[in-house]
Amino acid sequence: MRRIHVMAAVIRRADGSILIAKRPDAAHQGGLWEFPGGKLEEGEPRLDGLARELQEELGIHITNARPLIDIRHDYPDKSIRLDVWSVSAFSGEAHGAEGQQVRWVAPQDLGQYAFPAANKPIVLAATLPQRYLITPDNYDADQLITGLGVASGLGVRMVQLRQTELSQTDYANLATTLMAKTGEAVMWILKGEQPPLKGSGWHVTSAQLRELHAVGWCKGKRFATGPSLLQSADELERRPECEETWDGLLAASCHNAEELQMANDIGADFVTLSPVLPTQSHPGAAHLGWDRAAELAAMANMPVYLLGGLSLDDLERAQEIGAQGIAGISGLWPALKPR
């Protein structure tokens, strides 16, 4: 099978819109939209190759870029490495220099365009934020709303509601209250044994990930009703299923290459990878370190948030090794005290 290294770019204008281009009808995956770029020449530095392709295709010169996501995808006739960078500044007027159709699109409208299968994680990476806030335990609704207001002012848009001391009922009630108060300003990612409220995502623990993988469940499949989704395969077959499938944003906690593959298998949209550095809660526990985190992020094939011992000061380094950004509690949560 042929292996091809392709550079691609998520190019943003000052208004936040993203440039996409339409593939010629006669080309591989012709007629579909894509993120501009092209093949990396042998021995060519990655950023140099991207700059060359964008100058040839669009007539622009990169002035600020960073790695965004690295994807491997196998087609029947070839294996593609999509080496995707985020371009936040450039000179020149972008146009279809090779006669291709180009279009500036709002990030929330990318889903209206048909992309090659390998581009699906890129579309998600282009729309997900750089910071994934996890709430601390033992906060009531008022304290959380106050903290979220501060965090929102600092640019936080995606939040995992982590309240381990609450019953499932109390947790659901709190989530409902917070979602109503924050509206569309916050992308909520909830915890629990089953897919959560509509309008929110679901973050599964590494233990849940392993059990979901063991019973063969993946996003888009129906799931068994009852107190727990995490049953044996035989039990899952015997129990009644919900009439509707769940297709919200699915996240998973991962700590190694095996779990990253499981996350891919169940159709996770993004993962957290931890612990990168020693943490206050587990000071003596083994941690990945930056080099291993970079290796794992490169094989994930989906957006990765690095977690564990990190702060906003580490965001740039995380992105330099190909992570979507960072996740955390103490490193991102405003300085408020629990009740």
CA 264 vs CA 6, 22, 139: distances in Å:
21, 28, 33
Residues of each annotated binding site for 8-oxo-dGTP: 23, 28, 34-37, 119
CA 331 vs CA 148, 303, 313, 334: distances in Å:
14, 20, 9, 9
- The answer to whether the CB of 73 falls within 8 A of the CB of 82 is yes
Residues of each annotated binding site: 23, 28, 34-37, 57, 119
Containing 67, the helix (H) or strand (E) segment is strand 61-74
Angle formed by the axes of helices 206-214 and 257-265, to 10°? Answer: 50
Residues of each annotated binding site for Mg(2+): 37, 57
Q: What are phi and psi of 197, to 5 degrees?
A: -55, 145
- The answer to whether the CB of 175 falls within 8 A of the CB of 196 is yes
Reduce the DSSP state of residue 53 to 3 states and report it. helix
- The answer to whether the CB of 131 falls within 8 A of the CB of 162 is no
| CA–CA gap between residue 137 and residue 339 (Å, rounded) | 10
| CA–CA gap between residue 304 and residue 272 (Å, rounded) | 6
Q: Which residues pair with 86 in a beta bridge?
A: 10, 66
